[in-house]
């Protein structure tokens, strides 16, 4: 009896077909969008959100956010360790020492999160919506 191994050409063609099948392409595409969104949130969106919060509070509060994490199905954003610090130039800070408010974790629904990478208008509206929800949460702690 002679044992025959499949030819290399057959194996290469089979692997190409597997890699190009929808069962592999869809999860690979989804993982690419998810990781890109995660990187974008922690690099650019975090900076823009901090600026938006500073402007919304009249530059009396500065915010630092440790990390942002998209939900598994890109329907929410989880902000970890949000720290509000009163700026030195605010009128309230002249009489009292600097005040710091810390929120450990905040989950905000954001239904069109996957569109952040592709639409400038979606980025602006999402930034404003998340900013408003953070400020509403911040007022609960005061």
Q: Does pTM top 0.95 for this prediction?
A: no
The answer, yes or no, to whether residue 116 has pLDDT greater than 60, is yes
2 within domain boundaries: no
Average pLDDT, the chain: 85
27 within domain boundaries: yes
Percent of the chain at pLDDT > 90 equals 37
3 within domain boundaries: no
Residue matched to tokens 């020492």? 97
Residue 38: domain span: 8-141
Question: What pLDDT score was predicted for residue 39?
Answer: 94
The answer, yes or no, to whether residue 27 has pLDDT greater than 90, is yes
Backbone angles phi, psi at 10, to 5 degrees: -60, -45
Residues paired with residue 62 on neighbouring β-strands, in sequence order: 85
83 within domain boundaries: yes
The answer, yes or no, to whether residue 142 has pLDDT greater than 80, is no
100 within domain boundaries: yes
79 within domain boundaries: yes
The answer, yes or no, to whether residue 23 has pLDDT greater than 60, is yes
Tens of pLDDT, residues 43-75? 999 999 999 998 988 888 888 999 999 999 999
Tens of pLDDT, residues 68-106? 999 999 999 999 999 988 887 655 545 556 688 888 999
The count of structural domains within the chain is 1
Q: Are 33 and 116 in contact (CB under 8 A)?
A: no
Question: What pLDDT score was predicted for residue 117?
Answer: 86
1 within domain boundaries: no
- With CA atoms as reference, report the closest residue to 127 among 105, 58, 119: 119
Helix (H) or strand (E) holding 70: strand 61-70
Q: Is residue 65 exposed (0-12), middle (13-18) or buried (19+ Cβ within 10 Å)?
A: buried
59 within domain boundaries: yes
Cα(29)–Cα(79) distance, integer angstroms: 25
Cα(63)–Cα(53) distance, integer angstroms: 7
């Amino acid at each position: 009896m002679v044992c025959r191994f499949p030819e290399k050409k057959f194996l290469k063609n089979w692997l190409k077909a597997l890699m190009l099948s929808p069962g592999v392409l869809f999860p690979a595409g989804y993982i690419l969008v998810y990781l890109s969104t995660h990187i974008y949130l922690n690099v650019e969106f975090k900076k823009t959100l901090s600026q938006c919060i500073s402007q919304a509070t009249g530059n009396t509060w500065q915010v630092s956010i440790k990390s942002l994490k998209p939900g598994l199905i890109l329907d929410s954003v989880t902000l970890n360790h949000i720290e509000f610090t009163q700026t030195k130039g605010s009128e309230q800070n002249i009489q009292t020492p600097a005040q710091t408010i810390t929120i450990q974790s905040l989950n905000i629904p954001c239904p069109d999160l996957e569109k952040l990478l592709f639409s400038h208008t979606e980025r602006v509206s999402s930034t404003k919506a998340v900013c408003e929800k953070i400020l509403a949460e911040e007022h609960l702690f005061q």
